[in-house]
Structure 1
Amino acid sequence: MASRTLYQALAGTRKQLVVAPRTWMRTLSTAQGTPAAPESAPTLESLVPPTDALKKPIRRTINETVEPITPYNMTIAKLLAAGLHLGHSTSLWEPATLPFIFGTREGLSIINLEQTLVYLRRACNVAREIAVRGGTILFVGTRPGFQDLTIDAARQCEGYHVSGKWIPGTLTNAHQVLGRHAPPDPEDPGRAPKTYKPDLIVLLNPLENKIAISEAQLHKIPIIAITDTDYDPRRVTYPIPANDDSIRGVELIAKVISSAAKDGVFRRKHMLDQKVKETKFNRNENNFSRR
């Protein structure tokens, strides 16, 4: 009887010794590499973008994703990518542009972009200071392909634009040319409407607007202009040596100057708000002291 009990105990112990390794192997295999559950296949609705994204214009989407261009993040690499270093043929070379030329290659004059960046920043400082002082800025771009970028640059900084033909006498004979478009005086409707002259002109194609330059010089209005290697930079107040045939490059320069002017407009509004707050504060203090 005792031997049978001992035999059963030994048999149970043997079963445990045999089963244990199998359990351990099963646990190890489960921990090492159990195939994951298959993911659900994408549906057709998940692949289609939402309706709001489809209605959004592509140009607005690109403008939101791209970093805004300002005078502070402008580099020579961006000017080079826009093609602003390519000048005209050496046969059309203007000797006055010699300080701005880096060299020649295959019959073309190459503009030194280091000079372009320096003169562009100077023009941005001028536009910013004029906007801070409450001056008006006029963007002029009459060449085909420049109309849209001229209008966008003017709207960005709350300025004015001339995207069509420059009418002779716009500045020298403003009452006859612009008088019919000016609103009448509410206090005296019989008086001739008053016209205003810009404090700064940003000229994107000076070669086709010699009359505008002459009128601005008569009225002593400063001019910022893009001067290529075939144009005399001494005819304008603030030249920017660059390629004026590249639409992409001209748009880049116009955006940079417009952003600088927009910064000046923002600073002016901030200064005016501060003055109004200080005036109200001083008035309240005077009223309190009188009591």
Structure 2
Amino acid sequence: MAGIALKDLLEAGVHFGHQTKRWNPKMKEYIFGERNGIYIIDLGRTVTLFRDAEEFITNLAADGRTILFVGTKRQAKDVISEEALRCGMFYVNERWLGGLLTNFATIQRSLGRLRDIETMATDGRYDTLSKKEISRNEKERRKLQKNLEGIRGMTRLPDAVFVVDTRKEKIAVDEARKLKIPVLGIVDTNCDPDEVDFVIPGNDDALRAIRLFASRIADAVIAGRGMKESAEVESTREAIDDGSSEDRGARPGRPARRSREAAPASA
């Protein structure tokens, strides 16, 4: 797929970093300069590094792996859910629950509890409960649904995590690093790039910048899945062709039918 265009980055305001007094010195190599007290991000580096991130995601998706989209800040919430759903991946756009990755078994139990409460409302069990018990269950359901909706079908740990604002989502980044799950992140001038495997230098506050990066990551997933499906179709076609060839090769001429007169007499 075509790389991200410098023009698109400029139009989305990706080059605008934070105030010079609010920066992480480790980001120095990704900064082009300073203007009116604001650091300007080197978009040449962004183009190159984002290409690496896209390629990694495409290959991951082509291998049937999963990516978790993470962005809980106000500007990112809707974009993260929309793009993750568009490419069929999981997401967290509400509060990050501590241990979501490192204590995954507990999260799975919470998902099981959510499914159980939802089933209770339809299988008649609510009929046996008091209004107070039903109200308590519904309150629990809403809370679980709000925090876990984006990972309902995630039965195993993700193979990569895409993060908007690695500083705000530090707990998510730390958990992924602890489990050696690759982290791809939009890293602004106030973030620590050493915590991220695939650094995407850019504005992590502007809605247009967030949407641009998230949509391109989703596109990379879709492209990878398309490659996987094409490979599976080709593999199936080859298997069918090989099977047909074997059938043709193993079909000898039918032997002449022996006449009853020629049959040997039984002893």
Q: TM-score range by the shorter chain?
A: 0.7 to 0.9
Cross-structure match for 1:228:
188
Matches within 5 A, 1:86-125: 86-125=16-55
Cross-structure match for 1:76:
6
Q: Distance in 2 between matches of 1:207 and 1:214?
A: 10
Cross-structure match for 2:156:
196
Cross-structure match for 1:157:
87
Q: Distance in 2 between matches of 1:278 and 1:197?
A: 33
The structure number with the bigger radius of gyration is 1
Cross-structure match for 2:108:
178
- Contact 2:186/2:204 (<8 A) preserved: yes
Q: Distance in 2 between matches of 1:130 and 1:224?
A: 13
Q: Secondary structure at the match of 1:207?
A: coil
1:134 matches 2:60: no
Q: Distance in 1 between matches of 2:110 and 2:244?
A: 46
Q: Point out where structure 2 has 5 or more consecutive residues left out of the alignment.
A: 117-153, 252-267
- Contact 2:184/2:196 (<8 A) preserved: yes
Amino acid at match of 2:168: E
Q: TM-score, normalised by structure 1?
A: 0.70
Amino acid at match of 1:156: R
Moved runs in structure 1, 4+ residues, more than 6 A? none
- Contact 1:179/1:195 (<8 A) preserved: no
Change (3 A) 1:169 1:73: closer
Q: Point out where structure 1 has 5 or more consecutive residues left out of the alignment.
A: 1-70, 185-193
Amino acid at match of 1:86: F
Pairs aligned (count): 213
- Contact 2:71/2:169 (<8 A) preserved: no
- Contact 2:165/2:186 (<8 A) preserved: yes
Match of 1:145 among 72, 75, 94: 75
- Contact 1:171/1:216 (<8 A) preserved: yes
Q: Distance in 1 between matches of 2:110 and 2:70?
A: 21
Q: Distance in 2 between matches of 1:73 and 1:141?
A: 23
Amino acid at match of 1:146: A
Match of 1:288 among 235, 241, 248: 248
Q: 1:172-222: CA deviations, max 9, x gaps?
A: 1111112342689xxxxxxxxx93010011001211111111111111100
Q: Distance in 1 between matches of 2:48 and 2:191?
A: 19
Q: Distance in 2 between matches of 1:126 and 1:157?
A: 16
- Contact 1:154/1:258 (<8 A) preserved: yes
1:218 matches 2:182: no
Q: Distance in 2 between matches of 1:160 and 1:177?
A: 14
Task: Determine what percentage of the aligned residue pairs are the same residue.
Answer: 33
Amino acid at match of 2:234: Q
Q: TM-score, normalised by structure 2?
A: 0.76
1:238 matches 2:168: no
Could you say which structure has the greater relative contact order, defined with CA pairs below 8 angstroms and 6 or more residues apart?
2
